[in-house]
Amino acid sequence: MRYFTNVHDLVSLEDALAKAKYVKANPYADQVLGKNKTLLMIFFNSSLRTRLSTQKAALNLGMNVIVLDVNQGAWKLETERGVIMDSDKPEHILEAIPVMGSYCDIIGVRAFAGLKDKDADYNETIINQFIKYSGRPVFSMEAATRHPLQTFADLITIEEYKRVAKPKVVLTWAPHPNALPQAVANSFAEWMNETDCEFVITHPEGYELSTAFTGKAKIEYDQKRAFEGADFIYAKNWSAYADPNYGKVISKDREWTVDSDKMALTNNAYFMHCLPVRRNMIVSDDVIESPQSIVIPEAANRTVSAQTVIKEILLSL
Ligand code: CP
């Protein structure tokens, strides 16, 4: 595998989950694989989990790691071709990318959706430029439309906690003060549609995601009805996808906050969220602190998903 940006880059989910299980049980078994190989992690946006878990994964594989925060200490990058560069951005990404590629063997990129230009976001302009111009294998550490390392960790976690062969998994929108990308929700839907679960998405009207990601998921506008009998509740905020409101916050309705009354409707469901989470906006304190909350093991599995992916890329070099 040379590139990892979505679920279809894997041979199969079954194969990936088996490999992840091995990696989790044997985290230091492949230390020789990454010897004298360098991972460059490039962040256009902030991160706690992705930064630490991906670095730990690379260290477990014996790699060297370089981290670049593009907006802190590096030259500001112009990303549009054809612009007259008389602004505050002294370097063009089309020179910067091959230069960065010359210093490493594998590149991880975090570049969120700008939420201003839907076409640019949904064409994955930034990560595709890295794929085209770096000359190196590239993997997503959350791009404009997907967060595959997160969703892989989510799926590993669901596999570990599920009590029935075909669990009911509910992705619920929840309120947030700011406009957030659709990437985590898109990715979760894309991967869940590849599994044998009963998959339901619930959100207020106006928050419909792209059908390219929601696929065969059942869309239920009544959150309480969606929660009935659920085995997993996956909460996430996203901004509107549909025009004319693309990238906008059109509701902050705290009636959609996940609380213990709603969790009582479920089949003693586990609560999941990718973190960071806004308490008492997305989820109440008592739910996230309850024994049914598995947000910490979910975050811990980010090392497993990253290590499994980087290992597959190293094997392709
Ligand atoms: N879930 C996740 O990607 O966390 P960070 O934004 O902190 O990396």
pLDDT by residue (tens digit) across 94-115?
A: 999 999 999 999 999 999 999 9
Task: Give CA angle at 134 (128, 139), nearest 5°.
Answer: 55
pLDDT for 231 beyond 90: yes
Whether 138 and 154 map to the same domain: the answer is no
Tell me if 301 CB under 6 Å of ligand 1. Answer: no
Do residue 268 and residue 219 come from a single domain?
A: yes
pLDDT tens-digit map of 164-209: 999 999 999 999 999 999 999 999 999 999 999 999 999 999 999 9
Report pLDDT for 149: 98
Q: Are residues 198 and 88 in the same domain?
A: no
128 lines ligand 1 (CB under 6 A): no
166 and 294 within one domain = yes
Structure confidence at residue 72 (pLDDT) = 87
Task: For residues 152 and 137, state if they share a domain.
Answer: no
Residues 130 and 156 in one domain: no
CA distances from 208 to 32, 77, 148, 245, 258 (A): 46, 33, 20, 11, 19
State the pLDDT at residue 238.
98
Q: What is the pLDDT of residue 150?
A: 98
Please indicate, yes or no, whether residues 294 and 157 belong to a single structural domain of this protein: yes
User: Ligand 1, atom 1: nearest CA belongs to which residue?
Assistant: 274
Q: Are residues 112 and 65 in the same domain?
A: yes
Give the chain's domain count.
Answer: 2
On average, the pLDDT of the chain sits at: 97
Q: What percent of the chain has pLDDT over 90?
A: 98
Query: What's the pLDDT score for residue 80?
Result: 87
Query: Residue 225 pLDDT more than 90?
Result: yes
Predicted pLDDT at 307:
98
Domain extent for 175: 148-298
**Alpha-carbon gap, residue 231 to 36, rounded angstroms:** 44
112 Cα to the center of ligand 1, angstroms: 11
Q: What CATH code is carried by the domain that includes residue 95?
A: 3.40.50.1370
Contact (CB, 8 A) for 69 and 76: no
End-to-end CA distance of the chain: 9
Based on the fold, state whether residues 191 and 230 are members of the same structural domain: yes
| Contact indicator for 204, 176 with CB cutoff of 8 Å | no
Closest atom of ligand 1 to 50 CA is 8
